[in-house]
C-alpha cells in the first residue's frame, strides 16, 4: 500500500521533535528525574500521531469507517450539507485513538464546506451543528450506482485544528487519507436512507477496516 509517511503522521513530526528535544534538554541540564514528566508527554505525543496503514475490505457495497473510535450515534436525520434525509453514523475519537481520517467510499468530491464554531465536547449531540467542522460531500460510486455520502470532521473540546486535503472535483478511493484532526474529535457520516447499518452505539471501530454500513 502506498502511504504518505512511515507509521507516524507527518502532521505530528514537529510536535514529536519538539517534545523529544525538550525531554533530552532537561535530562542533560538537570538530570533524568526532572525530565520524566517531559518523557511522559513525549510518549503521549508519539502515540497520538501514530498512523499505520490499513487493509481495505474487498466488499464492494461496504461503507468504511473514516476514523478510529467509538460509535455514539446511529439515527435518521437531515444532512444539512447535501440537503436531504439521511442515515447518520457518528464516530467519536478520544485522545488515544488514531486521528487520521480516511475516505469511506470511492467517488468524486462535490463540495468541501468549512464552518468555524465552538469547541464543546465532541461526544455531545450539539457538537455536530455548533462546533468547528469541515464537510466533504462525495458522489460515491457503489456497484455501478451513484450515491451521496457526506463526511464531516468535527473539532472537539481539546481539538483546535481540522486539516482537510481534498478539493471539489478530486477523486477519492476507499481508505485514502484525506484529513487529520488534532487532539480529540468526531467524524459524522451521512448516508442514503437505503444504507443498512452494521454498527450500533457503543461499538468500537477502526478506520478503513471496520464496515459502518452497506448499500
Any idea which residues carry the catalytic annotation? 185
Angle between helices 13-30 and 32-48 (to 10 degrees): 170
Please list, in sequence order, all residues whose beta carbon lies within 8 angstroms of the beta carbon of residue 21, skipping any fewer than 6 positions away: none
Q: Is 203 exposed, middle or buried (0-12, 13-18, 19+ CB in 10 A)?
A: middle
Please list, in sequence order, all residues whose beta carbon lies within 8 angstroms of the beta carbon of residue 150, skipping any fewer than 6 positions away: 79, 81, 82, 86, 135, 136, 137, 138, 188, 189, 190
Q: Cα dihedral sign for 172, 174, 175, 181?
A: positive
CA–CA gap between residue 195 and residue 140 (Å, rounded): 13
Amino acid at each position: 500500500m502506498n502511504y504518505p509517511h512511515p507509521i507516524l503522521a507527518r502532521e505530528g513530526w514537529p510536535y514529536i521533535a519538539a517534545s523529544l528535544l525538550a525531554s533530552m534538554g532537561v535530562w542533560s541540564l538537570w538530570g533524568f528525574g526532572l525530565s520524566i514528566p517531559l518523557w511522559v508527554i513525549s510518549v503521549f505525543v508519539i502515540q497520538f500521531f501514530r498512523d499505520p496503514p490499513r487493509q481495505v475490505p474487498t466488499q464492494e457495497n461496504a461503507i468504511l469507517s473514516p476514523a478510529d473510535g467509538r460509535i455514539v450515534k446511529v439515527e435518521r436525520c437531515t444532512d444539512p450539507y447535501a440537503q436531504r434525509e439521511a442515515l447518520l453514523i457518528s464516530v467519536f475519537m478520544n485522545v488515544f485513538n488514531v486521528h487520521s481520517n480516511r475516505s469511506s467510499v470511492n467517488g468524486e468530491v462535490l463540495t468541501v464546506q468549512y464552518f468555524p464554531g465552538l469547541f464543546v465536547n465532541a461526544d455531545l449531540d450539539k457538537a455536530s451543528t455548533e462546533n468547528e467542522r469541515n464537510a466533504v460531500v462525495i458522489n460515491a460510486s457503489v456497484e455501478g450506482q451513484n450515491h451521496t455520502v457526506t463526511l464531516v470532521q468535527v473539532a472537539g473540546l481539546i481539538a483546535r485544528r481540522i486539516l482537510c486535503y481534498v478539493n471539489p472535483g478530486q477523486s477519492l478511493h476507499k481508505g485514502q487519507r484525506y484529513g487529520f484532526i488534532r487532539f480529540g474529535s468526531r467524524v459524522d457520516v451521512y448516508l442514503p436512507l437505503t444504507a443498512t447499518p452494521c454498527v450500533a452505539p457503543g461499538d468500537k471501530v477502526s478506520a478503513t477496516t471496520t464496515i459502518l454500513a452497506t448499500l
